[in-house]
Each structure stands twice: as C-alpha cells, then as structure tokens.
A = this chain, B = another copy of it.
Amino acid sequence: MDLSIGEVAQRSGLSVHALRFYEREGLFANPVRRLANGRRVYHEEELEWLAICTKLRSSGMPLATIRQYIELARQGAGNEHERLELLRRHERQVEAQVRELQEALDVMREKVRIYEEHLARGEADRLWNPSHAEADPGPEQACR
C-alpha cells in the first residue's frame, strides 16, 4: 500500500521537510517513486529503512556516513566487508561515547552529592562562590 510523504512523516517521526532533505542528500537506496502528478509515493520498505536511519542518527552517525552505507548497499553484493567495517567502526565510536557519558555522569553525580550534603547540613553558604573564592575557598573549593 502506498504512502504519501505526509503519512511517512507521521509514521517515521521525521518532518516532510526532512524527508525531502534526506532524499536530496541521497539517503534512499532507490530514487523515491512518484505519481503522475509528481507526488512522492513511499512503501513499507522505505519506512523500515527510515527507522534504521533514525536509530543510526540518534547514535550520532552523520548523514554522510549513512549515505556511504547506502551507497555500498546500492552497489550490490561484493562489498559486505566494507559495510560491516563501517558498522563496526560506528559501533566502537558509540561505545566510546557511552563511556564518555558515564564519566560525565560520575562527575555530575559527585557534584549533586556534594550539593545535597551541604544543603542537608544547612551549610550551603560554605560552597564555592566565585566572588569570594580567594578570600575563603573553604573546604569545598572544588564545588562549583
């Protein structure tokens, strides 16, 4: 069953603008089919691919890399190792990003912990304050 660009927008979560933009950017395996009047027609196939695209995007894969990937697929059999390598590379990047986020979380949790502790003790005024940092850094100087 045929889908209009509006329906695809609704079901994919992308805007119609984004869909046309993705097409211009060569992110579809095949040229999007058109009706006699020039309107785009999509099918489940495209919807599934868009779902994958948004997953890749949400993990930070740039459109350029998605394009590379779909270009390989478009070329047909013979470059599966390349596609695999591309996926693996991104996988490693995402893993690194997760580690980075965890580290940032550690830092934030530590700060939250210190704030909570001080607030609980009613000693908030002893927290680091830029305007007296030098006058009296106090025991919690690192707490910004």
Contact = CB atoms under 8 A, between A and B. Distances in A.
A84 interface: yes
A104 interface: yes
Contacts of A68: none
A108 B52 CA distance: 9
A4 interface: no
Number of copies: 2
B52 A124 contact: no
A14 interface: no
A101 B90 contact: no
> Per DSSP, are chain A's interface residues mostly helix, strand or loop, or mixed?
helix
Query: How extensive is the interface on chain A, given as a class?
Result: 35 or more
A91 B112 CA distance: 9
Nearest first, the 7 closest Cβ-Cβ pairs linking A and B are A29-B130, A59-B104, A77-B125, A80-B124, A84-B115, A55-B107, A55-B104
Given A74-B130, A76-B131, A78-B124, 6 more contacts: A30-B130, A48-B142, A56-B104, A58-B100, A90-B108, A95-B105
